[in-house]
């Protein structure tokens, strides 16, 4: 049994490892995590598990399953409550910190009491910070050390050390104020929660891709039973049933046409703007839109066998195949955590056996704990989210929406960019590009096309700027063209085949040249004489050519992957200077083509806009969705381009490089502090006040460095 469950607090690759490692220990269940969409895909024995049991297991390891919108809101509310509580409890501790650091400010006497600070810090650490303990436990259990382990070690060390100082101070009747680090515990948890909250909100700006795909399917079908039409739930339709689909209705399921002729809009699946003509014997795709006449359809696929279901499953599976980007902070934590722990233990042992000289163990315990306190990951936790926050803000002003931090860490490695054709490299809708013959007679074609809802008709009427004439006896010749009487003249607008069928001579027009350019041609005949030929095409976006040229200049190989026919695809690729082109590719095959390019050793970005692009967007190392495209494409991508300018692809890459450098600089600041302070703490020379100042300074430098990103200037400008 396969089941997908949404989980509210999945934030990174370490979460994925923790969940997958836990379920690996259980029998008859396998879990795979989709980090970007916060989902876990389970394959399990339905006799042993159900949705509720799987949810219970997720809760055991500190993750919160979402089964409905109400639980989604509860999870979001819980995050906000934790953040607010962390701020409320940390604020008074921060107030005392300024006095510890030597600032001459008034602080209530009771707040300086160690036991009061202990009481304030306890709910921050064990209630607000409970998620970090759950996650750290399972990271340790699965041998996947991440930021959560570092947070737990740092906050707990500061907490324990401060408790020891408080008790020792009282027991010895000291007069000096003890050096307490309770505020460090609160600040670390608060800062990490702020970072997580920001990233979660960014991801929530897009809806769930798979849910959006599922919602595209029809909910009911009109089934022909015993000569009567009966509306039934889509789940009740069986293979072989006969469906009746009226004009302007969605085709419920895959099948073939038994009776009727109509145009069917398959753009949502194929990405192509031209409606397909369907007649008896033709196959038809479920969830496409019947636009003209009633069709009788025999069902050939139901449930998981339909094309839409295959796309949904492909999106899920490609997300699992796609390597999960491990955060820089988590990579560092895997090395940093054991190193710090080892240094702390060695410090303790060195003081016990070499320095202590008969004094109490507290003397040895203090520098060991100090090492852990100084290593608190406050600056480390801020390093990534602050830079990404500033970078995302700059990007948003340019019309670029990043959906997570992973993109920043891989964009500098992109060596190939694959583009969808329709709606991505081209405008996505047909336009009249040429009139060959008598241009004055365009009024007859435009007047007739005014009565049609075909995209070609709109292209012709949009190009005509004059007054429309009255039309009578209008008739659609399905799959061929249209005809009618305009200004008392018999007018026919249609394909070369229709002209040939009617016996009209088109030899005066060179249609072959235009067809070889990937254009669609139509003829207009008035009273039996062909007066002109119309060439219609889906034009290139103005920025497409310069973007391809810039990519090649940078050594990045451009590809085109399209479902369109060979002739059109090759012509467009040649016009743009794209040497690698795949044509007549089905939606699920697009992901396979991306995998082929990846297998050749390239880091691949894919740029698309249609539902048929969703698997490829998910499979690519980085997915760019053009904002004018479908919601599904946007949902499955890593980056959304909110304007039609393809130059945003270059700008997104450039900004990501600047942001990544900024993140590395943040880590340099964070570690400079640790490299200097840890040895001083280990040999007992560190003044705790200086440690606090150093920690604060390190965090301030991280924030200031992140803000320096605002000085970034885009060098690339699209040539149109």
Helix H segments across 492-543?
A: 496-502, 511-516
Those residues whose C-beta lies under 8 Å from the C-beta of residue 265, and which sit 6 or more positions away, are: 275, 276, 288, 289, 291
Nearest to 150 by CA among 379, 386, 378, 377: 377
Per DSSP, the chain holds a count of helices (H) and strands (E) of 24, 27
Question: What is the spatial distance between Cα 504 and Cα 318, in angstroms, rounded to a whole number?
Answer: 52
Residue 715 sits at φ, ψ, to 5 deg, of -90, -35
420 is catalytic: yes
Three-point CA angle 667, 670, 673, nearest 5°: 145
Residue 64 phi, psi (nearest 5): -110, 110
Q: How many CA atoms lie within 13 A of 670 on its CB side?
A: 24
Choose, from 254, 265, 420, 609, the residue flagged as catalytic: 420
CB 716 within 8 A of CB 652: no
Query: SS3 for 408-449, per residue?
Result: HHCHHHCCEEEECHHHHHECCCCEEEEEEECHHHHHHHHHHH
Cα separation values, 457 from 272, 447, 451, 479, 494, Å: 16, 10, 8, 13, 11
Residues 403/36, Cβ–Cβ less than 8 Å:
yes
Could you give the angle at which helices 328-350 and 647-682 cross, rounded to 10 degrees? 0
CB neighbours of 713 closer than 8 A, spacing ≥ 6? none
Six token digits for residue 273:
């703007």
Tell me whether residue 189 is exposed, middle or buried, using C-beta atoms within 10 angstroms of its C-beta: 0 to 12, 13 to 18, 19 or more.
buried
Give the Cα separation of 514 and 618 in Å (integer).
Answer: 36
Q: Nearest 5 degrees, angle CA 408-CA 409-CA 410?
A: 100
Q: Which two tokens stand for residue 524?
A: 């207009």
CA atoms within 13 A on the CB side of 281: 0
CA distances from 669 to 244, 408, 547, 705 (A): 68, 19, 36, 9
Length of the chain: 720
Tokens of 85: 């509580």
Q: Catalytic positions, please?
A: 420
């Amino acid at each position: 049994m396969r089941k997908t469950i949404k989980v509210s607090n999945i934030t990174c690759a370490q979460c994925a490892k923790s969940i997958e490692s836990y379920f690996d220990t259980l029998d008859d269940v396998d879990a795979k995590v989709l980090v970007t969409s916060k989902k876990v895909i389970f394959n399990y024995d339905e006799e042993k598990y159900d949705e509720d049991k799987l949810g219970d297991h997720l809760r055991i390891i500190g993750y919160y399953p979402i089964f409905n919108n109400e639980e989604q809101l509860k999870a979001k509310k819980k995050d906000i409550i934790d953040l607010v509580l962390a701020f409320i409890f940390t604020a008074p501790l921060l107030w005392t910190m300024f006095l510890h650091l030597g600032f001459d400010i008034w602080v209530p006497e009771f707040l300086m009491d160690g036991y009061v600070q202990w009481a304030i810090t306890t709910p921050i650490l064990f209630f607000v910070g409970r998620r970090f303990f759950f996650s750290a436990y399972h990271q340790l259990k699965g041998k996947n050390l991440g930021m959560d382990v570092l947070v737990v070690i740092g906050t707990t060390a500061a907490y324990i050390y401060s408790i020891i100082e408080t008790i020792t101070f009282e027991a010895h009747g000291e007069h000096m104020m003890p050096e307490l680090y309770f505020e460090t515990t609160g600040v670390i948890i608060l800062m990490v929660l702020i970072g997580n909250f920001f990233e979660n909100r960014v991801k929530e700006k897009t809806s769930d891709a798979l849910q959006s795909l599922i919602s595209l399917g029809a909910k009911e079908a009109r089934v022909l039973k015993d000569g009567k039409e009966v509306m039934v739930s889509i789940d009740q339709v069986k293979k072989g049933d006969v469906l009746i689909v009226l004009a302007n209705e969605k085709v419920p399921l895959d099948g073939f046409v038994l009776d009727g002729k109509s145009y069917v809009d398959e753009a949502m699946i194929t990405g192509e703007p031209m409606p397909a003509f369907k007649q008896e014997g033709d196959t038809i795709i479920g969830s496409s839109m019947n636009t003209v006449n009633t069709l009788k359809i025999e069902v050939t696929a139901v449930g998981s066998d339909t094309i839409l279901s295959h796309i949904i499953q492909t999106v899920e599976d490609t997300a699992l195949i796609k390597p999960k980007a491990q955060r820089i902070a988590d990579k560092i934590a895997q090395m940093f955590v054991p190193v710090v722990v080892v240094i702390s233990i060695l410090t303790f042992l060195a003081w016990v056996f070499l320095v202590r000289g008969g004094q109490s163990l507290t003397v040895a315990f203090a520098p060991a704990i100090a090492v852990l306190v100084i290593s608190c990951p406050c600056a480390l936790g801020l390093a990534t989210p602050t830079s990404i926050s500033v970078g995302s803000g700059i990007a948003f002003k340019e019309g670029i929406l990043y959906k997570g931090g992973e993109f920043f860490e891989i964009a500098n490695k992109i060596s190939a960019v694959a583009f969808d054709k329709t709606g991505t490299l081209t405008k996505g809708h047909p336009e009249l590009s040429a009139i060959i013959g008598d241009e004055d007679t365009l009024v007859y074609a435009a007047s007739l096309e005014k009565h049609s809802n075909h995209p070609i008709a709109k292209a012709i009427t949009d190009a005509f700027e004059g007054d429309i004439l009255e039309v009578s006896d209008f008739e659609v010749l399905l799959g061929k063209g249209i005809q009618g009487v305009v200004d008392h003249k018999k007018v026919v607008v249609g394909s070369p085949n229709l002209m040939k069928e009617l016996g009209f001579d088109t030899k005066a027009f060179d249609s072959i040249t235009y067809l070889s350019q990937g254009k669609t041609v139509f003829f207009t005949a008035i009273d039996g004489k062909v007066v002109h030929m119309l060439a219609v095409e889906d034009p290139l976006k103005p920025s497409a050519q310069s973007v391809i040229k810039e990519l090649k200049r940078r050594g990045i190989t451009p590809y085109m992957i399209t479902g369109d026919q060979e002739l059109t695809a090759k012509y467009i690729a040649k016009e743009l200077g794209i040497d690698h082109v795949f044509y007549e590719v089905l939606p699920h095959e697009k992901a396979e083509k991306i995998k082929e390019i990846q297998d050749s050793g390239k880091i691949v970005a894919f740029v698309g806009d249609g539902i048929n692009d969703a698997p490829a967007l998910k499979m690519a190392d980085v997915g760019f969705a053009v904002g004018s495209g479908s919601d599904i494409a946007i949902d499955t991508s890593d980056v959304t381009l909110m304007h039609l300018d393809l130059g945003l692809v270059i700008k997104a890459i450039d900004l990501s490089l600047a942001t990544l450098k900024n993140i590395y600089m943040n880590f340099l600041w964070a570690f400079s502090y640790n490299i200097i302070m840890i040895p001083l703490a280990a040999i007992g020379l560190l003044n705790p006040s200086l440690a606090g100042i150093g920690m604060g300074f390190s965090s301030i430098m991280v924030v200031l460095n992140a803000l320096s990103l605002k000085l970034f200037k885009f060098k690339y400008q699209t040539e149109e």
